[in-house]
Structure 1
Amino acid sequence: MPVSTGFKVYNITFVVLFIIFAGLQYNDPDPYVWMPIYLLGAWICYQASKGQMNIRLYILGLSVYSLYAIYLLFDKTGVIDWASDHHAENIVQTMKAEKPWIEETREFGGLLILIVVFVINWMYLRRK
């Protein structure tokens, strides 16, 4: 199915970003978790840029990412803890996150970006 130029640019942009994000996980304590997460996002965006949609991959990605995001939101050192007990401390003050609530909040943000991109793609491609 043909897609608009804007939709292609949108998806190619996220392909590049998600590959960069995956590469930045190399020195992370758990790259074996985060590299595949971002690379799946890059693959889905690449497929979307060509007008292709693998419904099973979308369901898998959205399910896993949403469940993981909910976990990070409510975990004892998660996003709610960061916002309430740590007064929404700056999460970009240093790239080395030595505090678990900062690491989990950053991870939550990454998952949120992936989820939003997937939902936008799903809505666009389902309309076609």
Structure 2
Amino acid sequence: MWLIILNSIFFLSFMLFAYVNLNDKDSWLWVPIYVVAALLCGLTIFDRYFYTLYLIAIGFYLFYAVILFFAKDGVLDWITKYNRPSIVESMQASKPYIEKTREFFGLLIISAALGLDYFAGF
């Protein structure tokens, strides 16, 4: 029962995140990222598991997270160069290291949710 509740929360959250990304300049990337995650979590609610899709999605999300970590003005720069300023103050990030750091952690959250579903399905 807890997995159904958790995946319902994930499904609704990821669909909401996809919706609010519709007006972003990189919506072509982030809307599909969130919709795929939402659909995979939504299918889990109905006891439908697609293990290969979980692995493909997690692999893509983690690969992109590594890119964001090491990118110019990425997470590593946020930590070392900019001394970790808050990433939650304003949702209108004018600083690229804030935006990339938020995206990085979003990808980790999605990967964790899908990883949980992957292992819960066995």
Q: What TM-score range do you get, normalising by the shorter chain?
A: over 0.9
CA shift digits 1:17-70 (9 cap, x unpaired): 000111111222201100000000100001111111112211210111010001
Superposed CA deviations along residues 61-85 of structure 1, whole A, max 9, x for unmatched, are 0111010001111112110100110
1:73 maps onto 2:82 in alignment: no
CA distance in 2, matches of 1:84, 1:57: 35
Kindly state the Cα deviation for residue 94 of structure 1 after the two structures are TM-superposed.
1.2
Match of 1:99 in 2: 95
Could you state the TM-score of these two structures normalised by the residue count of structure 2?
0.96
Identity across the alignment (%): 34
Residue 10 of structure 1, aligned match among 6, 14, 21: 6
Q: Which runs of 4+ in 1 moved over 3 A?
A: none
Distance in 1 of aligned mates of 2:116 and 2:53: 15
Q: Distance in 2 between matches of 1:28 and 1:92?
A: 18
CA distance in 1, matches of 2:74, 2:39: 28
The 5 A counterparts of 1:8-87 are: 8-87=4-83
TM-score normalised by the chain length of structure 1: 0.91
Task: Pick from 92, 109, 114 the counterpart of residue 113 of structure 1.
Answer: 109
Q: CA RMSD in A?
A: 0.9
Unaligned runs of 5+ in 2: none
**Gaps in structure 1 of 5+ consecutive residues:** none
Counterpart CA distance in 1 for 2:24 and 2:75 is 19
